[in-house]
Amino acid sequence: MDGGADAQVNPAGGVGAVGVRIHHTRRLPDFLQSVNLKYVKLGYHYLISHLLTLCLVPLMIVILIEVSQMNPDDIRQLWLHLQYNLLSVIICSAVLAFGSTVYIMTRPRPIYLVDYACYRAPDNLKAPFHRFMEHSRLTGDFDDSSLQFQRKILERSGLGEETYVPEAMHYIPPRPSMAAAREEAEQIMFGALDNLFANTSVKPKNIGILVVNCSLFNPTPSLSAMIVNKYKLRGNIRSFNLGGMGCSAGVIAVDLAKDLLQVHRNTYAVVVSTENITQNWYFGNKKSMLIPNCLFRVGGSAVLLSNKSADRRRAKYRLVHIVRTHRGADNKAFRCVYQEQDDAGKTGVSLSKDLMAIAGGALKTNITTLGPLVLPISEQILFFATLLVKKLLNANVKPYIPDFKLAFDHFCIHAGGRAVIDELEKNLQLLPIHVEASRMTLHRFGNTSSSSIWYELAYTEAKGRMRKGHRVWQIAFGSGFKCNSAVWEALRNVKPSRDGPWEDCIDKYPVKVVT
């Protein structure tokens, strides 16, 4: 719309005051000017992207014209010259062959994503708002102010009525225990893995690398050992269990698996990402520690990676880049997501009011590294030019925000909350369709921690939007504070796998989310 008033919600957790900003009607000359600038920018990107081709074509034409005008004697002299320099040709060919062999033997091996699976809990674990609030009231652990606060968070969080909480939380009073937490972990991990093995026909004995990440639940034996025991994995498997690394640990786990696949040839790696809620529910009244209760929900994923060249034909994606950013050296960033006890001795995870600002700083650092790897040269020139003007001339120039829509076809932004998605949509200048997968994942499944980016990828596939050559940007934030990115390239037109998380409900989406 050209004019009118838009309600704008404070992004700080979605629970702040609602402000109204008036947009004046745009004049026709201004509109025409913006259209002209749009096409000028498109022309600029096309020119820079095809600059080499545009320069080489005239050169090739000139060479062909010169060759066509050569007489037979000139061609004969050229041939004789090449014969006299046969030794040089042989040496150059040998050096080229040797160099090519060394490059092929030492280059990084391509990593393929064969398939992945996301866990979907049974319907009896759904937690609609009225049931959530009724259970919170009946536990007797929360005062009226805390109950009202939780209600506001639920209403403005972007979550829908069909998210899941673990079975222990459905009892009154709740029954958190080590046994219940183990049961939750087993249901999620084994459910995702059963689906993955069924869809790929890969036998568990063929798995050479296993990486499991879960931030808040780290029993002994470990979660990875539970998987080894369940599926009777082989004795020489490289097994790793990552704990305490937050919602971005899924990308870290993939990065670790990628490094291991560079060393161990012709094998498979499985990455399992989950979080455990049963023993980490907060039963106190500190507002900053109540938010995770309202946002975090049951979920998990299992990803099958391969370095076998034969798997390229059936794989869905190829791993292109992983970029990791850690801001833990800064005290504010380190403590912005912090597990601790409140004044009453009750344990929970506290979220700082500076969380969004810290996330923005981590994102800026991350995309500064990622940008040169993925952006077209036209965007890099514009960014570098504005940087030079600002540094050399001390001009008050607004920093140029690269257009990442030119580098990626799909965006999987960690569904940590509505504020996170809103902030990235604004800062990266994305369109609503680019954040649709993130918003709908948050609505349907809630914040499933490190596995949320896989539910989002599954949404894109279920909508039939993934085409061969498309690039996907998975970006996740986590405690520490960390911002991690993974870039994938589709190797074919990707269809959703059997028993996917969206299989029975994709036709209902997208839905309008009340803000």
Catalytic residues: 247, 326, 410, 414, 443, 447
* CA separation for the pair 457, 451 (Å, rounded): 10
What totals of helices (H) and strands (E) does the chain contain, helices first?
A: 16, 13
Residue 418: CB partners within 8 Å, gap ≥ 6? 14, 156, 157, 158, 439, 442, 513, 515
* Residues forming beta bridges with residue 484, ordered by sequence position: 324, 476
- Alpha-carbon distances of 383 from 17, 311, 398, rounded to whole Å: 35, 38, 11
Long-range contacts: 348-355, Cβ < 8 Å, 24+?
348/280, 348/282, 348/284, 348/286, 348/289, 348/290, 348/292, 349/216, 349/280, 349/282, 349/289, 349/292, 350/286, 350/288, 350/289, 351/13, 351/288, 351/289, 351/291, 351/292, 352/288, 353/12, 353/288
Query: Cα(287)–Cα(82) distance, rounded to whole angstroms?
Result: 82
What distance lies between CA 217 and its chain's CA centroid?
A: 23
Dist CA 422 CA 55 (whole Å): 42
d(CA 348, CA 339): 6
Total Cβ atoms within 10 A of residue 52: 10
Provide CB contacts within 8 A for 214, sequence distance 6+. Answer: 185, 223, 241, 242, 243, 273, 274, 275, 276
Closest CA to 461 of 196, 250, 453, 424: 453
How is the beta sheet containing 410-413 ordered, strand by strand?
Answer: 238-242, 207-213, 268-274, 300-306, 112-118, 317-326, 482-490, 471-478, 410-413
